Amino acid sequence: MRVSTSTLYDQGVRSMLQQQEGMFKLQQHLSTGKRIMTPSDDPIGAARAHELSQSLSLNEQYKDNRYRAMDSLQQVDSTLGSISNVIQNVRTMAVAAGNPAFSDNERQMMATELRGHFEHLLGLANTKDEQGNYLFSGFKGGTQPFEQANGSVTYQGDQGQRLIQVSSSRLLPVSETGDAIFEPGGQSLFDTVNDFITALETPGGGAALSSAVSTALQDLDVALDNVLTKRAAAGSGLQEIDALQQIGEDTAVQYQQSLSRLQDLDFAQAISDMTRQQALLEVSQKTFNRVSGLSLFNII
């Protein structure tokens, strides 16, 4: 079988191109520090790395969600703390108002102070979050939850409780509805305070005032217990977020380590491969030069 000169030439060129391509790929791996540059480098490893990257990205999104949930619950907790303080102040005044030694004028002064507490309470009920949405209006974030008209306060929100996905398996409540906070058992906290103010403003005192004080204290105790329960729920949510944050951080480290094992280059092995590839290229070049330089004149 006769091998033509052109065939030998083509084989030599092809061999050098293959060696050069191998060198180029190794140089790319060394420059990026990555073992897998394209799926063809390791199809199974590339698929697994893609899955891990997606899981890592999703875990990062849950982390962002947890920060949002934390901000919301902290504001709910803080606002509920302020509400409980107002209720306690009103309760203290209700206890004091039962003193029969107070005059009508003194009770009028107490009523004026209670009006301030009432307005403060209404302001807290209409608190907005950092995005400008009302905190206690349910899903109707753009609607003011409580409106005062004709001496009464009505709830304008709905019964929706906002939820945030804080992990793959947990939707965490991050809000409370206004009626759940200010209308426990169907009794409006605003009506309780307003009715008590009216009783204080009514001259004479006596048995009617004593009954009003007793009713106010009873309703205020129910309202305070309810607010404290809601605040405890917010605190429990914050504790859960702290635990989930730690789990999320540990999970992220595990994903990153697994991804590193799949993608990161073994530099010692790559340098060894580079040295071997370079030697093969030099051999191919020398062989090509010798073969391409042969002619009949060399034989003669």
Q: What is the pLDDT of residues 27-52, one digit of tens each?
A: 666 656 666 666 666 677 778 878 88
pLDDT digits (tens, 9 = 90+) for 206-230: 889 999 999 999 999 999 999 999 9
φ, ψ for residue 110, nearest 5 deg: -65, -40
Q: Which CATH superfamily is domain 52-258 in?
A: f41 fragment of flagellin, N-terminal domain (1.20.1330.10)
Distance CA 107, CA 94 (A): 10
Q: Find the helix packing angle between 189-201 and 43-97, rounded to 10°.
A: 20
What pLDDT is recorded for position 296? 44
Report in angstroms the alpha-carbon separations of 282 from 12, 17, 278.
12, 12, 6
- Domain edges within the chain: 52-258, 267-300
Are residues 153 and 159 in contact, defined by beta-carbon separation less than 8 angstroms?
no
Confidence at residue 265, expressed as pLDDT on a 0 to 100 scale: 63
Question: What number of other Cβ atoms are within 10 A of residue 114's Cβ?
Answer: 22
Distance CA 165, CA 173 (A): 9
pTM: 0.76
Neighbouring-strand partners of residue 297: none
Task: State the Cα–Cα distance between residues 286 and 16, nearest whole angstrom.
Answer: 10
Helix (H) or strand (E) holding 172: strand 170-173
Of the chain, the end-to-end C-alpha distance in Å amounts to 23
- The C-alpha atoms of residue 136 and residue 126 are separated, in whole angstroms, by 7
Residue-level pLDDT at 20 = 61
What's the pLDDT score for residue 159? 94
Contacts of 60 (CB under 8 A, 6+ apart): 252
Low-confidence ranges of the chain (pLDDT < 50): 1-3, 296-297, 299
pLDDT of res. 242: 96
Give the angle 184-189-194 at the CA atoms, nearest 5°. Answer: 155
The closest of 150, 225, 157 to 194, measured between CA atoms, is 150
> Half-sphere exposure of residue 284, counting CA atoms within 13 Å on the CB side?
18
Cβ atoms of 97 and 107 within 8 Å: the answer is yes
Supply the pLDDT for residue 95.
94
- Which amino acid appears at position 37 of this protein? M
CB of 65 closer than 8 Å to CB of 164: yes
pLDDT at 271: 64
